[in-house]
Amino acid sequence: MSNAFVRTETDEDGIAVVVIDRQDKLNALNADVIAALGDTFAALRGSSDVRGVILTGAGNKAFVAGADIAELAEMDPLSGIRVSRAGQQVFRAIEQMPRPVIAAVNGFALGGGLELALACHLRTASSRARFGLPEVKLGIIPGYGGTIRLPRLVGRARAIEMILTGDMIDAAEAHRIGLVNHVHEPDVLLDETRALMTRMLANGPIALALALESIDHAAATHPDAAAQLESDLFGLLAGTGDMREGMRAFLEKRPAQFTGR
């Protein structure tokens, strides 16, 4: 599964590696890349062979170094709204994937690139990675969900500082503030990210999907409503073969063999 800007390979373990490949522009997002990401993740969501997704950038310089400024410079108010909403829709679809999605940030993740990483469930980073939302330096604001997701992840005050200064932070600082989960040397980033994904995929696939649904729902819901959904999903899992297998395996002191049923 691939096109001019986004290519995908799925291994025998069901881990799909999605690579944004526009190296001459440091993998910058334009309308074509956004559309390709939307098509790619829609196909991955519909594939029974895919159990988890790792998203990264081609080359060793950038994950995604931002949006395509030449394209943004042509915006008027109405097209600006359309550009923002198109990106928001694709990034929200990534955030709502029922399988784990990890951004392996291999270089610059700036502007729309950081917003894309924020839409993934987890982030790992190369020690050379750099992060930032520099939009105010261009007279605009983040438009793909950055003002929403960054404060939820790192806290309001840190997010305000990053957004209003437009300053970059390095991988160590991103890890310290909780923006990324793990930092690795560049040559082992993908291997270590794959190992993290493998640990997740050893667990019940229905449980993973419903855990992600509950977490996503809770982010924008009153705690009482979030707790009610959590209970409902907990109850649904009690009717699955995976739950019975997981409980039996624990009692029998053996690894569980989940089937997704």
Taking the C-alpha atoms of residue 232 and residue 145, their distance in angstroms, rounded to an integer, is 29
pLDDT recorded at residue 134: 96
Catalytic residue among 135, 161, 192, 252: 135
pLDDT above 80 (res 213): yes
Q: What is the mean pLDDT of residues 140-167?
A: 97
pLDDT recorded at residue 54: 98
Q: What number of other Cβ atoms are within 10 A of residue 189's Cβ?
A: 24
Catalytic residue among 9, 71, 115, 161: 115
> pLDDT, tens digit, for every residue of 158-170?
999 999 999 999 9
- The overall average pLDDT reported for the chain is 95
Q: What is the DSSP letter of 182?
A: E
Helix (H, G, I), strand (E, B) or coil at 174: helix
Query: Would you call 252 a catalytic residue per the annotation?
Result: no
> pLDDT, tens digit, for every residue of 91-120?
999 999 999 999 999 999 999 999 999 999
Query: Would you call 9 a catalytic residue per the annotation?
Result: no
pLDDT above 90 (res 67): no
